[in-house]
C-alpha cells in the first residue's frame, strides 16, 4: 500500500479526462438525490396501503439513517488514506477497497460493485428503450427493429399487452440506437459536466410529483381509510425490501467527493438529498394510498395510465425518460472512472467498455422476463453488498489503522470537513 505507483496518490487534476473540484453544494445534492430516486416510486401507494402510513415514515427514516451512516463510513475511510484529509487526491471506490481490504475481499467487493452498476445500467437501458418503443408505436403506428432470427430481418412491433411492442421476440430495437446517440456524448464527459442534467432531473421529478399528487388528491374516495400500522408481516417485509433500493448511494459518493468544491459539506449534502427522497416517497405513498385505497389495480403508473387523462399518461412516459437519460451517463462514468483509476484502460477504452458492455448485455434480455428475474435476485445481493456491507467493513478496517488526521464533525462548515 505504500508504493508510489498507486494512482490515488496522484493529484486530483492529474488526469484531464476526469472532472475538477467544481461541483457546488446544490449541484451535488441534485446528483445524490437523482442517484437515490429510483423506479420504486410507483410502488409506494401500494406499499403504504399494505403496511400503514406510520410504517412508511419509520421505514424510510430508518433506512435513510442507516444509508447516511454507511455513506459517512465510506467517506471517512477515504479521508483517512494518506494525503487525503480533505479529498485532495482522486480516490475512487476501487482505491478505497484496495487500500483497506485483503486481496480476496477486494476482488469480491469489486466484482459486486461492477455487477451492481452493470445491472443498474441494464435496467435503465431496457426500461427506457421500451418506453421509447411505445412512444414510437403511438406516434408512428409501429416500433421498429431487427428480429435476431434466424433469419435476421426487419420487424414492426405492435403488441400492447407486453413489456415491449415486440412481445417475446428476440429483437434489436431501433430505440437502442436512439438512446445510445443521446447518452454516449454525455458518458464521454466527466461527472461535473453532467451536473446540469441532474438539476433537470430533480426539477422535472418535482413537477411530475405535483401532477401525481393533484390526481391522487382529486380521486372520488379521497381520503380512503389508512391505519397508522397494519399487523401484516408481508406488508412490512415488502416495504423494507423495496425501500432498500431507494437508498443505494455508495457508488456515487467517491466520485462526487473527488469533484465537489472544498467548502461543500458532505454531511449537509447527504442530509438534504436523503431528506428529499424521504419526504417525496413518503408523501406519494401516503397520499397515494389515501387516494387509491384498496381499489388499486397495480402500481401508481398503471393507475395514471388508466385515468383517461392525457397529462397523466404523458407523465408516466416522461418519468423513466427523464430519470434514466440523466442517470445512464452518470453510472457509466462511475465505471469509467474506476477502470481508469485502476490503470486498466485509458479514457476512450474505459468509456467504450463502461457503455458497450451493459448495452450488449441488454439486447438479448430486452424482451421476455429473463432480465427481471436476474435483477430481482442479483440486484438485491449486489446492492446490499455495495451499499451496506462494504461501508460497514471499511468502517471496521478504518478503526484498526491510525487516522491520517482526526476527522471533524460531519456538519462542520470549514475548508477541512467531512
| Assigned domain for 45 exists | no
CATH label of the domain that carries residue 253: 1.20.1740
If one compares 413 and 253, the residue with the highest pLDDT of the two is: 253
DSSP string covering 271-305: HHHHHHHHHHHHHHHHHHHHHHGGG--S-HHHHHH
| Assigned domain for 6 exists | no
| Assigned domain for 68 exists | yes
pLDDT category, 369, cuts 50, 70, 90?
low
Q: What is the pLDDT of residue 3?
A: 39
% of the chain surpassing 70 pLDDT? 87
Residues 8, 13, 15, 18: is their CA dihedral positive or negative?
positive
| Assigned domain for 131 exists | yes
Burial string for 138-161 (b: 16+ CB within 10 Å, else e) reads eeeeebbbebbeeeeeebebebee
Which residue bears the cell 469509467?
336
Cell of 266: 458532505
| Assigned domain for 414 exists | no
| Assigned domain for 180 exists | yes
Q: Does residue 77 carry a pLDDT above 80?
A: yes
| Assigned domain for 18 exists | no
Q: What is the mean pLDDT of the chain?
A: 84
| Assigned domain for 32 exists | no
State pTM to two decimals: 0.85
- d(Cα 328, Cα 154) in Å, to the nearest integer? 27
* Range name among 10-19, 139-148, 155-164 with the lowest pLDDT average: 10-19
* CB 146 within 8 Å of CB 152: yes
Instruction: Give the model confidence (pLDDT) of 286-318 as tens digits.
Output: 999 998 887 766 678 878 888 888 999 899 889
Q: Residue 284's domain spans which residues? A: 50-399
- d(Cα 108, Cα 101) in Å, to the nearest integer? 10
Residues 353, 244, 375, 142: is their CA dihedral positive or negative?
negative
- d(Cα 358, Cα 173) in Å, to the nearest integer? 15
Find, among 369, 389, 392, the residue nearest to 381 by Cα: 389
Q: Does residue 202 carry a pLDDT above 80?
A: yes
Count of the separate structural domains present in the chain: 1
Q: What is the pLDDT of residue 374?
A: 62
Mean pLDDT of 179-206: 91
Amino acid at each position: 500500500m505504500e508504493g508510489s505507483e498507486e494512482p490515488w496518490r496522484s493529484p486530483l487534476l492529474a488526469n484531464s479526462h476526469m472532472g475538477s473540484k467544481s461541483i457546488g453544494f446544490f449541484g451535488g445534492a441534485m446528483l445524490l438525490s437523482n442517484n437515490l430516486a429510483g423506479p420504486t416510486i410507483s410502488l409506494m401507494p401500494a406499499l403504504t396501503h399494505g403496511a400503514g402510513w406510520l410504517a412508511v415514515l419509520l421505514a424510510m427514516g430508518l433506512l435513510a439513517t442507516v444509508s447516511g451512516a454507511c455513506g459517512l463510513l465510506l467517506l471517512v475511510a477515504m479521508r483517512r488514506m494518506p494525503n487525503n484529509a480533505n479529498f485532495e487526491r482522486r480516490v475512487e471506490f476501487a482505491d478505497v477497497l484496495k487500500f483497506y481490504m485483503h486481496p480476496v475481499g477486494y476482488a469480491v467487493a469489486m466484482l459486486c460493485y461492477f455487477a451492481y452498476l452493470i445491472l443498474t445500467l441494464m435496467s435503465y437501458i431496457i426500461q427506457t428503450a421500451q418506453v421509447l418503443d411505445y412512444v414510437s408505436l403511438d406516434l408512428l403506428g409501429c416500433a421498429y427493429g431487427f428480429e435476431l432470427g434466424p433469419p435476421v430481418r426487419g420487424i414492426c412491433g405492435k403488441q400492447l399487452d407486453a413489456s415491449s411492442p415486440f412481445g417475446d421476440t428476440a429483437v434489436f430495437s431501433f430505440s437502442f440506437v436512439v438512446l445510445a446517440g443521446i447518452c454516449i456524448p454525455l458518458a464521454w464527459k466527466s461527472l461535473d459536466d453532467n451536473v446540469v442534467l441532474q438539476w433537470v432531473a430533480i426539477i422535472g421529478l418535482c413537477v411530475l410529483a405535483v401532477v401525481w399528487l393533484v390526481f391522487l388528491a382529486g380521486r372520488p374516495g379521497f381520503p380512503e381509510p389508512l391505519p397508522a400500522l397494519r399487523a401484516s408481516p408481508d406488508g412490512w417485509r415488502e416495504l423494507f425490501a423495496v425501500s432498500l433500493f431507494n437508498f443505494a448511494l455508495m457508488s456515487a459518493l467517491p466520485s462526487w467527493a473527488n469533484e465537489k468544491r472544498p467548502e461543500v459539506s458532505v454531511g449537509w449534502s447527504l442530509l438534504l438529498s436523503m431528506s428529499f427522497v424521504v419526504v417525496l416517497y413518503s408523501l406519494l405513498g401516503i397520499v397515494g394510498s389515501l387516494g387509491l385505497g384498496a381499489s388499486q389495480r397495480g402500481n401508481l403508473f398503471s393507475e395514471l395510465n388508466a385515468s383517461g387523462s392525457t397529462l397523466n399518461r404523458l407523465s408516466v412516459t416522461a418519468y423513466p425518460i427523464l430519470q434514466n437519460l440523466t442517470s445512464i451517463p452518470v453510472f457509466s462514468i462511475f465505471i469509467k472512472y474506476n477502470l481508469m483509476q485502476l490503470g486498466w484502460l485509458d479514457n476512450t477504452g474505459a468509456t467504450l467498455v463502461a457503455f458497450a458492455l451493459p448495452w450488449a448485455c441488454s439486447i438479448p434480455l430486452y424482451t421476455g422476463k429473463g432480465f427481471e428475474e436476474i435483477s430481482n435476485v442479483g440486484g438485491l445481493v449486489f446492492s446490499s453488498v455495495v451499499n451496506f456491507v462494504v461501508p460497514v467493513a471499511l468502517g471496521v478496517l478504518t478503526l484498526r489503522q491510525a487516522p491520517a488526521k482526526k476527522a471533524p464533525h460531519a456538519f462542520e462548515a470549514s475548508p477541512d470537513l467531512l
